[in-house]
Amino acid sequence: MRARFPLLVAVFCATLAFAAPARALTVGIADNKADMFFDPRFAASGIGQARISIGWDALSSPWQAEQLDQWLTAAHDAGVKPLVSFGHSRTDRRSLPTPERFLFEFRRFRARYPWVKEFATWNEANHCGEPTCHRPELVAAYYRKLRRDCPDCRILAAEVLDMPNMVSWVRSFRRHAHQEPRYWGLHNYIDANRARTTGTRRMLHAVKGQVWFTETGGIVRRANPHKVTFPESANHAATATNFLFRRLVPLSRRVTRVYIYHWNVDVAPGTTWDSALIGPTGRTRPAFRVVARVLNRQAARRAARAARRAGQQPPPPPAA
């Protein structure tokens, strides 16, 4: 028993690493447009996290590299920490790199932007519009490469959609990863917009690490082909966003980040998706006010904690 005691302690500590209460929720924005960094409302919000999704070979394309430079420079200048999510190539959607080529592109990225430390291995990896839909073992190989190459980076195992194949895909990934990932990304649009908790609960049950909602929010309009139906309007988006924070985030203390997609409407021709907090005329939508209330409550809690540490009277809570 004495010989086994150190092993039991190690196992117990490892269990606590996943079971211990996580830190407070962080709210960010997922948006590939750099506009938000120049919007005074973004600066006033206090948001310090933002996510961008890029092609795995983005730096091999001059126009993509230019857009990436603009976005990351604006984020850096605004003091915003980026989460960079890799995904399908923008020039050859069905192509998949070998793990060695993926690592080569990752190292190119790190050499160009050494201050970026948070990455998601693949965006919506279980979506069957992605070439990784039936290749969880390949995404796991990518993940292993990134973890080994940048041990001081925070690497999300994969970002998955709350679709029927989510749990089986995640389980296969875990088998091939040969390690227990500490971070996952979840895009739980279906749960948020159908006012249900099913998909998020299934994901939390399937993994042990932290689960970040790296794309989520209420949908105003979709013009793309889709089989999943729910109401679409600015008011619906506010209701869905409220459900997200009121019911989905509290499901687990392992839900530590939420990235709302997205800040403002993309007015480019051919745009088929609108879940923006700010409409085409520049006016805020009802969902913006939902997010603002969450941010205000968080700021008030931080101020109260700081006041308590300083032995002062906490400030009054913000108005609803």
Binned at pLDDT 50, 70 and 90, residue 314 comes out as low
Binned at pLDDT 50, 70 and 90, residue 215 comes out as very high
For 57-94, the pLDDT digits (tens) are: 999 999 999 999 999 999 999 999 999 999 999 999 89
Q: Are 174 and 125 in contact (CB under 8 A)?
A: no
At residue 116, does pLDDT exceed 70? yes
Binned at pLDDT 50, 70 and 90, residue 319 comes out as low
Mean pLDDT of 120-145: 97
Closest CA to 35 of 67, 57, 83: 67
For 274-312, the pLDDT digits (tens) are: 999 999 999 999 999 999 999 999 888 888 888 888 887
Binned at pLDDT 50, 70 and 90, residue 14 comes out as very low
For 139-166, the pLDDT digits (tens) are: 999 999 999 999 999 999 999 999 999 9
Binned at pLDDT 50, 70 and 90, residue 269 comes out as confident
Q: At what angle do helices 198-206 and 166-177 cross, to 10 degrees?
A: 20
